[in-house]
Structure 1
Amino acid sequence: MKLSDAQIRHFHEEGWLFLPETFTPEEVACLREEADAIYREHRPEIWREKSGAPRTAFAAHTFNEAFRLLGAHPRMIEPIEQVFGEKLYMHQFKINAKAAFTGDVWQWHQDYGTWLRDDGMPEPRAMNIAVFLDEVMPINGPLMLIPRSQKHGNLAAGHDTSTTSYPLWTITDEVVTKLVQDGGIVAPTGKPGGLLMFHGNLVHGSAPNITPYPRKIVYLTLNAVSNHIRKPTRPEWIAHTDFTPIEPVPDDALAQYARRYRQAAE
């Protein structure tokens, strides 16, 4: 899957790009069921809210076949290779849940701030790709982005280890206010299967989910191989140190797996 010149210009200018319904209902249904099963497991890769609800499942591509195929899918890999002009490896893979009624806040932050400080990533040449597994609506805690905030580079941040169960390098309210005055706020929404890509320095966050509608999103961080991390401080299943270039699977690999998965369940 290739991006058009207009899409590439939009990404470089605004810092984000949304591609609706990139994955089919069949593919997404399989991923959603697999995600629910993973959240029921008890393993160190699965972090929970203070309420006990699932928050993040790391590295699912290393122990689940459906997510392995997603992590090497050409609809994910080819557009980012196009932007960076080189091969990629998987820096991080996680399935984030915003559970109905109890999904907690994600404070305003830049992801590259963490990749730099905690992992020793030289430059912001890693891309976040988000795949919607549930419908993301204006009311169920969508990801909020500040357009063009990536142009300000790596911003000063404080290490918040108390607000939620997930420590973040967060941006102050004063800085966020100034950025929003310039760029505003957008909250991409859409049906399951939508794909959102955004720059590592784009400031983003999300509000709690107090609705009956859960919101699960798979996040892949694809890093240019030449930009591999130098000084990792986090566990391997959070910040990977296997820098092997990803070789894309066939475009129908996930769909074929989904069909076998459905047949086995019948």
Structure 2
Amino acid sequence: MISSLTTQQIAAYHRDGYLILEGFFLKAEVDKLYRTALEDDAMKKNALDLNDQTGKKTKLSLWFTPGNDVFGYMTRSRRMISVIKPLLDSDSPVCHFHSKLMQKEPRVGGAWEWHQDYGYWYKNQFMFPDQLISVMVALTEATKQNGCLQVIKGSHKLGRVNHGFAGEQVGADMVMVNNALKTMPLVYSELKPGDALIFHSNLLHRSEANLSDRPRWSVISCYTSQSNLAYNETSTAWKVPVDIVPDEAILEWEAESLSNADFLKKENDPALKETGWEKQVN
């Protein structure tokens, strides 16, 4: 298992805005995570439906505080924090902002429009995008056919692009996206279960609808540095250093139900609220 990054991997992340770590989690760990995602009623009860521009739905369940459940153990694992820490532009402790289970069901799973995570998190008024990072862990295979993540390599260097509403989602100004696509490579991030895609908060990315007969499920954990203040965020997880657990916790420790997690309610998400400037983007 990968427990630290090489100098070359760190340089690649800063150059490209993303990094893929193959086999970051073991098959037995992924099997346990996926089984929990399928069986834990809390995931189903707290899933949000977000429509894309065609009306197709993507389901996600989002929670803030990493607990003593199997996903909390994953988020807080030593290997996770060890690879994140050197990529953040800060010496402050690593904090967990939120995690989300993404569920794209066969034939009906919707698209995610082009966006930057900081296009959302700008509304939470985080100060420093270089101190925000996301880690996507594939629970099932992610391919072109079932709507894997697409990224524009190096697009994090654009800075924040203006965002507006695209369906119920927040999407980037397509003039800038199309300019970026003419300038930088488009990469399909195909992943096997257990692979991890780490990406910068300003990396432009999207995913197409799942028109295949196979599901695409993944969990995305988002982190920030404790020094990165958020002036419009009601949760408090973002300023609490991660309580790191050993890697073996995922498989060996007793796990609580996710019913104890502090899930996001759709009406409380600042990213989905009008501020006025959304109308000025294409």
Please, what TM-score do these two structures have when normalized by structure 2?
0.81
Counterpart in the other structure of 1:252 = 248
Counterpart in the other structure of 1:24 = 26
Q: Which of these residues, 146, 149, 170, is aligned with residue 143 of structure 1? A: 149
Checking the alignment, whether the CA contact within 8 Å between 2:58 and 2:111 is kept in structure 1 is: no
Checking the alignment, whether the CA contact within 8 Å between 2:139 and 2:193 is kept in structure 1 is: yes
Q: How many residues align?
A: 249
The residue identity in structure 2 corresponding to 1:92 is H
Q: What is the CA–CA distance in structure 2 between the aligned matches of 1:196 and 1:46, rounded to whole Å?
A: 23
Counterpart in the other structure of 1:34 = 36
Identity %: 26
Q: Please list the CA deviations of residues 193-228 of structure 1 after superposition, one character each: whole Å capped at 9, or x if unmatched.
A: 001100000000100001111011101110001003
Matches within 5 A, 1:126-165: 126-160=132-166, 163-164=167-168
Q: What is the CA–CA distance in structure 2 between the aligned matches of 1:196 and 1:103, rounded to whole Å?
A: 20
Counterpart in the other structure of 1:262 = none
Counterpart in the other structure of 1:173 = 174
Checking the alignment, whether the CA contact within 8 Å between 1:22 and 1:193 is kept in structure 2 is: yes
Closer/same/farther in 2, CA of residues 198 and 41 from structure 1, 3 Å limit: closer
Counterpart in the other structure of 1:15 = 17
Q: What is the CA–CA distance in structure 1 between the aligned matches of 2:220 and 2:150, rounded to whole Å?
A: 15
Q: What is the CA–CA distance in structure 1 between the aligned matches of 2:31 and 2:64, rounded to whole Å?
A: 16
Counterpart in the other structure of 1:76 = 80
Matches within 5 A, 1:144-223: 144-160=150-166, 163-164=167-168, 167-168=169-170, 170-223=171-224
The RMSD of aligned alpha carbons is: 2.5
Q: What is the CA–CA distance in structure 2 between the aligned matches of 1:53 and 1:75, rounded to whole Å?
A: 33
- The answer to whether residue 63 in structure 2 is matched with residue 59 in structure 1 is yes
Q: Which runs of 5+ in 1 are unaligned?
A: 260-266
Q: Please list the CA deviations of residues 153-207 of structure 1 after superposition, one character each: whole Å capped at 9, or x if unmatched.
A: 01112133xx24xx31x11322111101111210111210001100000000100
Q: What is the CA–CA distance in structure 1 between the aligned matches of 2:206 and 2:67, rounded to whole Å?
A: 28
Partner of 1:78: helix, strand, or coil? helix
Checking the alignment, whether the CA contact within 8 Å between 1:30 and 1:258 is kept in structure 2 is: no
**Further displaced range: 245-254 or 17-26:** 245-254
Q: Which runs of 5+ in 2 are unaligned?
A: 256-282
**Regions of 4+ moved over 4 Å:** 39-42, 49-54, 60-64
- The answer to whether residue 121 in structure 2 is matched with residue 119 in structure 1 is no
Q: Please list the CA deviations of residues 86-124 of structure 1 after superposition, one character each: whole Å capped at 9, or x if unmatched.
A: 3111111101111111110100001112111x2110010
Closer/same/farther in 2, CA of residues 242 and 110 from structure 1, 3 Å limit: closer
Q: What is the CA–CA distance in structure 1 between the aligned matches of 2:63 and 2:159, rounded to whole Å?
A: 28
Closer/same/farther in 2, CA of residues 11 and 175 from structure 1, 3 Å limit: same
The residue identity in structure 2 corresponding to 1:72 is R
1:242 Cα deviation after fit? 5.2
Checking the alignment, whether the CA contact within 8 Å between 1:18 and 1:197 is kept in structure 2 is: yes
Checking the alignment, whether the CA contact within 8 Å between 2:65 and 2:98 is kept in structure 1 is: no
Please, what TM-score do these two structures have when normalized by structure 1?
0.86
1:53 Cα deviation after fit? 6.8
Q: What is the CA–CA distance in structure 1 between the aligned matches of 2:145 and 2:50, rounded to whole Å?
A: 20
**Further displaced range: 107-116 or 247-256:** 247-256
Closer/same/farther in 2, CA of residues 28 and 257 from structure 1, 3 Å limit: farther
Q: What is the CA–CA distance in structure 1 between the aligned matches of 2:178 and 2:238, rounded to whole Å?
A: 38
Q: What is the CA–CA distance in structure 1 between the aligned matches of 2:249 and 2:57, rounded to whole Å?
A: 31
